Amino acid sequence: MSPAASIAQPANASAHVPRYHTAGGRAFNFNAGPSILPEEVIRTFQEDMWNFRGSGLGILEHSHRDKWFDELLFETIDLVRKVGSIPKNYHVLFMTGGSSSQNFIVPYNLLPKGRTADYIDTDFWSSRSIDDARQFGVPVHVAFTGKSEKYTRVPAPSEITFSDNPAYVHFTSNNTIYGTQFRSEPTPPSNGAYLVCDACSDIFSRPIDFTKYGLVYASVQKNLGITGATLVVVRDDLVQNSNADVPRMLQYRTMVKEESRPNTPPHFAIYSASVMMRWILAQGGLPAIEKRNHEKAGVIYAALDASGGFYRPHAEKNSRSVMNITFRLANEDLETRFLNDASSAGLMGMKGHRATGGCRVSIYNAFPIEGCRALAEFMGDFARKNG
């Protein structure tokens, strides 16, 4: 055996040809994150892993301080700014630790001593943000919780009760696990409180007005590329006034000063975001992406609604997410059969989160409408056979 062969992946013995496949001959990927990448983006990764921009080295092997990476980093930041129309007084940072670590990094940096922070609880992830903030010692005020209703919807503005003088209002724009989504952002009380948004699973799925936010964070692995980095967009005055007694590696101030590389950054994840940003621009930018996402989700919700109760959507209609669609079938056995049959038909990754069970269909920006049509057809066939 040659040395190259000895480290190759084991061959897949199955010769099964699935009913559905993408234009590139792969399965449709409904995973919630890490998740689908556009096929042309993966092809670009392949080339750049071998020889990045004629440098003679692959991107994975470049130093994070050489001129190629310098160029790439600033280009990526410019591309993120361009895609998101991010105003000049906001910083674009790449951090590590995932969206999850922002649960304590945000209050550590931004919450002045003695101030309260308000949280809107609409999902597993927002309730995790609350738990982590409390554990960190943050005086948390829960301004709304959908827990007793099993997180089937997001609140109307009149249902949100803010505390007297919160420093910020935290909310999760898209609820990845229960499949609900805010149509527009909540309005914080008008005493200087700003919005902090966990936009992990719907960032750049639609236009976003950053001027309404103090800070927005999103792990790269859902709509922006691969896992390993977290995009943080933060207003400059908040960084200027941030707490000083924060360990260097966790300070937004350090990240600004050191251009997101106070140590070795997750450079392939940052690179992946640059390719994804080019892809988004080639699709026509966020207005075009938003339109496509509504069409895609519409195809699947129509199939759910036409099933006469065979599929049972979790979210209330006016809170439905266009990124993550969740539903159940009559019982767990039927769900298991549905997921297995779908998987062998080439529709992969629809098992619900362990917190909810059931099925979850994630159709991030990269997911093609052909896959939504394939799923709708499959759902109809499966319901007829098993209804």
Ligand X SMILES: *Cc1c(COP(=O)(O)O)cnc(C)c1O
Pick the closer one to ligand X by CB: 20 or 364.
364
Catalytic site residue from 198, 202, 279, 351 = 198
- Smallest distance from the beta carbon of 164 to ligand X, in angstroms? 28
| Calpha distance 170→253 (Å, rounded) | 21
Pick the closer one to ligand X by CB: 198 or 335.
198
In three-state secondary structure terms, 3 is helix
Encode 322-334: b = buried (16+ Cβ within 10 Å), e = exposed: bbbbbbbbeeeee
Q: Which stretches of the chain bind ligand X, using CB under 6 A? A: 33, 98-100, 125, 172, 176, 198, 200-201, 219
What is the length of the chain?
387
Name the helix (H) or strand (E) containing 68: helix 67-84
Pick the closer one to ligand X by CB: 110 or 379.
110
Catalytic site residue from 222, 279, 296, 351 = 222
Q: Judge whether 198 counts as a catalytic residue.
A: yes
- Smallest distance from the beta carbon of 185 to ligand X, in angstroms? 15
Cis-peptide, bond into residue 34, ω within 30° of zero: yes
- Smallest distance from the beta carbon of 263 to ligand X, in angstroms? 19
Q: Which residue is nearest to ligand X (CB)?
A: 98
Torsion, Cα of 108, 111, 117, 123 (10° steps): -30
Q: Judge whether 68 counts as a catalytic residue.
A: no
Sheet with 312-313, side-by-side order of all strands: 312-313, 324-328, 359-362
Bridge partners for 119 per DSSP: 142, 170
> What is the number of helices (H) and of strands (E) in the chain?
11, 14
Pick the closer one to ligand X by CB: 109 or 201.
201
- Smallest distance from the beta carbon of 226 to ligand X, in angstroms? 11
Going by the DSSP 8-state scheme, the letter that residue 19 receives in this structure is S
- Smallest distance from the beta carbon of 12 to ligand X, in angstroms? 28
Catalytic site residue from 125, 132, 296, 351 = 125
Pick the closer one to ligand X by CB: 266 or 346.
266
Q: Judge whether 222 counts as a catalytic residue.
A: yes
Encode 115-125: b = buried (16+ Cβ within 10 Å), e = exposed: bbbbbbbbbbb
Catalytic residue ranges: 125, 198, 222
